[in-house]
Structure 1
Amino acid sequence: MAVDTVREEKAIRRLTERLLETYRDTHPAEHVQTAIEEARARFAGHSVREFVPVLVERVARRALEPDSAQVVAAAAIDVLAPRPAPSEPRALPLPNRRNALLLGGAAALVAVVVVSLAVRQPDSPPPATAAAPGLTLVRGVVGSEKMAFFQDQRVIDALATHGVRIEVHAAGSRQIATSIDLGAYDFAFPSSAPAAERIQRARNITTKYTPFSSPMAIATFQPIIDLLTPAGVVKPGAVPAVDMARYLRLVRADTEWAQLPDNTTYPVRKNILVSTTDPRTSNSAAMYLSIASFVANDNAIVQGTPAEQAVLPTLAKLFVGQGYTETTTDGPFQEYLTSGMGACPLALIYEAQFVEATAKGQIAPGMVLAYPSPTVLSKHTLVPLRESGDTIGRLLTGDPVLRELAAAHGFRTGDAARFAAATRGIPLAPELVDVVETPTYDTLEHLLDGVTESYN
């Protein structure tokens, strides 16, 4: 099966799981699956596949929610819908002419689809369940990379000793800050300070807690490390480092893997790009943008409109060429874990995800964790929306048992010795030196808006 087909099949499987969960209370499972199958059938035979999962989701949701018509999705479907044969022969019916028409249609499709992505609505939160007798139920919306921590029975037990039970719902950090209805929750726990700041501004909240952080990292494979080392992109070592300046040079030049000298390891005709999430919804992609903007701005934090405009062409290349991207880091990381080097040679993740996967036995020989140089610390910041949410912030920050468990899940709590002990045997950078700060909240928003516009 071709790599593109594998990616599409995986995206459709994730889409099916997501819609089954979303509509479990309103539609039988077979109705949801039928809607997806019928939507996908509309795009059978089309050669441009990168955005098919996005369009399938739009069509399926429209079928399952007929009252919420989506004009943009309908326009996108019209672009791909089969047309009747023309009554007269075309002028210049040559193969090159046909290819040019197909490419033009694909470009139009990309423009329409990306507009629809910008108005994507998050799934509704699950219905609340009652807490056990004697426990106060506290509901939170959190970045997906923290779900395993909150689902750990040891964490559940530790919280129960303080009289609380947490129910969490996962979402992309920028979704949490921009489009999730926070009225249903007691706390919001995005994966970065800028996302938390946006929530605080919108709700006039001054309190926040930053119980732990996780640096951005790149999950890759030893053959890819060996391939990129002679190109100067990777600095080998016990913990490899990806030279972001050299990497950006390859991106600006639209360098393909097959163009690397003496490449017999991965001679693929596609651009060298790190797989990320969607920057419009996900914090990890915004953190990646922070790193790249610093490097593209001659190793200085971007400030002011001239600097923003100067780096945007480079930043756009990092994302637009990827095609379909997920809303949370669980998407590209699961593709890395299950599909291997062919589909995902480089995946941007949180360091904590690699630690978590190692503990579960999911890291196979040849899988390697590298760090962008420079990198950024994603500061997981909890914003209490109610008093019960404030209690969770104080517990995660101050309770020694919960801090120990956070370290065991790969989060850095500020105690280097505790982190080293909890992650012993995993090849991680014990201390991070080459770390930069993110741009200001407003600058980061401007850059993200600029990247969003570049999709069009």
Structure 2
Amino acid sequence: MQKFLGLIILLAVAAAAAFFMFGKDKISSISGGSSAPKGELVTVTGRAGSEKIAFLQSEKVTQLLAEQGLKVNVKKAGSVEMVQEAASDDDFLWPASQINVESFKTSTSRTRLQQSADIFNSPIVLYSWDIVTDALIKAGIVQHKEGVNYIVDLPKLLELVKTKKQWKEIGLTQLYGSLIIRTTDPSKSNSGNMFAALIANTLNNGEVVATDTVDNVLPQVKDLYARLGYMEQSSSDLFEKFLQQGVGAYPMIVGYENQLVEYSLLHKEHLELLKAKVRILYPVPTVWASHPLIAMTDKGKKLLAALKEPKLQKSAWEQHGFRSGLMGVENDPSVLEVVGLPKSIDAVIPMPNATVMNKITKQLSSF
């Protein structure tokens, strides 16, 4: 009798073990259970612009990518630099502009391109301070409309910079020296590169610079950049110095819209101070940074597909301030705590073509 009971118990244990090993997965698949991968995650290696590093390394994004069976090993690199030659172990490159993709197609690594697609969009903006913005509003350069600060007269602002107007001449007696807009190195970083394009278009009477007109504006673009002295090589480094050193050292800088959103979420203890002192200025028109991902391997293609998932796109906006690069996806500023964000970016001018941009970049690389 005891042997018989022991046999029943043994069979029951075996059945339970079999159910745990096989039945659980079956039920999970029927009921739409967790999509978390089984076994080891696939590591995808590559480089990305500094503005996307915090996104890729965040706990939420790491978790969402793991559900797709992926783990990302990423290094920071300037968008302009990274596309010139990909490392042999790169599965992907993630610059910040379609122009970077076009440059990659002419690089020594061009044969490795398998797929590319825009993932996010970020408008190029200027960051400034309350007192500077107020002075620019009085000068008719900036207009405050529906809670958003727009640079409605960029030609006038560039003229003040070009003619070395003093800050005190626009009512800012507490600031030393002449007006200046600090930007990243356009030969290494995309934000500096795109602002150079925006300057060139502005100086070309608001028309996109082409091969037959670029020589007319290049001397003025070079003159503006020559006054900047040392330029940071990444947008994140420039933004950090803007916040750390303040209005005296960095009255105005060029950056991406998402940077203030992301910083505010990561440093909520500074949120009220940021709301009181920091201003986002939207050039009218501006240019889009489209953040295309370049996939060079099958693993890179898997990452590209994963980044288009709705949950990742939602996290990109709500935790990092990246507007979606997908059709039909809306980005609601009201879910964010940062003030001064428009619901949509309506005034946009195209970038010059890759040939023109390469010429502009080459001319500015000597600084």
TM range (shorter): 0.7 to 0.9
Q: Is the 8 A contact 1:355 1:426 kept in 2?
A: no
Distance in structure 1 (CA, Å) of the matches to 2:295 and 2:332: 26
Match of 1:301 among 202, 205, 208: 208
Instruction: Name the residue aligned to 1:449.
Output: 362
Equivalent position to 2:99, from 189, 194, 204:
194
1:86-101 aligned within 5 A: none
Distance in 2, matches of 1:418 and 1:219, equals: 21
Instruction: Give the AA of the match of 2:291.
Output: H
Query: Which residue matches 1:431?
Result: 344
Residue ranges of structure 1 left out of the alignment (5+ in a row): 1-131
- What displacement does 1:135 show? 0.5
Gaps of 5+ in 2: 1-37
Change (3 A) 1:355 1:249: same
- Please say if residues 118 and 292 of structure 2, whose CA atoms lie closer than 8 Å, have aligned partners that are also in contact: yes
Which amino acid letter does the alignment assign opposite residue 206 of structure 2? N
1:32-431 equivalent positions in 2, closer than 5 A: 134-179=40-85, 181-202=86-107, 203-204=110-111, 205=113, 207-237=115-145, 238-242=147-151, 243-260=153-170, 262-266=171-175, 268-269=176-177, 271-305=178-212, 307-360=213-266, 361=268, 362-363=270-271, 364=273, 365-397=276-308, 399-408=309-318, 409-413=320-324, 414=326, 415=328, 417-420=330-333, 422-423=335-336, 425-431=338-344
Deviation readout 1:395-427 (Å, 9 max, x if unpaired): 112x11111111121111145634435435532
Q: How many residues were matched structurally?
A: 317
1:164-221, CA deviations, whole angstroms, 9 ceiling, x for partnerless residues?
Answer: 1011100110111125x42121000001111122123331336211111100111111
- The DSSP-based 3-state class of the residue aligned with 1:236 is strand
Aligned AA (1:298): N
AA matched with 1:395: A
Q: Mark the structure with the bigger radius of gyration.
A: 2
The TM-score, its normalising length taken from structure 1, stands at: 0.66
**Secondary structure of 1:185's partner?**
coil
1:338 aligns to what SS in structure 2?
A: helix
Deviations 1:127-174 (A, max 9, x none): xxxxx9511111110000001101111111111111110111001101
Counterpart position of 1:10: none
Instruction: Tell me if the contact between 1:312 and 1:451 (Cα under 8 Å) persists in the aligned partners.
Output: no
The AA in structure 1 aligned to 2:148 is V
Determine if contact 1:273/1:322 at 8 Å carries over to the other structure. yes
CA contact (8 A) 1:223 1:265 kept: no
Alpha-carbon distance between aligned partners in 1 of 2:82 and 2:148, rounded to the nearest angstrom = 33
CA RMSD for the aligned pairs? 1.8
Q: Distance in 2 between matches of 1:223 and 1:436?
A: 29
Is the partner of 1:208 in helix, strand or coil? strand
* CA-CA distance at 1:320 after TM superposition: 1.4
Report the Cα distance in structure 2 between the residues aligned to 1:346 and 1:254, rounded to whole angstroms.
15
Contact (CA 8 Å) 2:331, 2:343: kept in 1 or not? no
1:246: how far off? 0.9
**TM-aligned CA distance change 1:326 to 1:263, over 3 Å:** closer
Paired-residue identity, %: 27
Query: In the alignment, which residue of structure 2 is the partner of 1:12?
Result: none
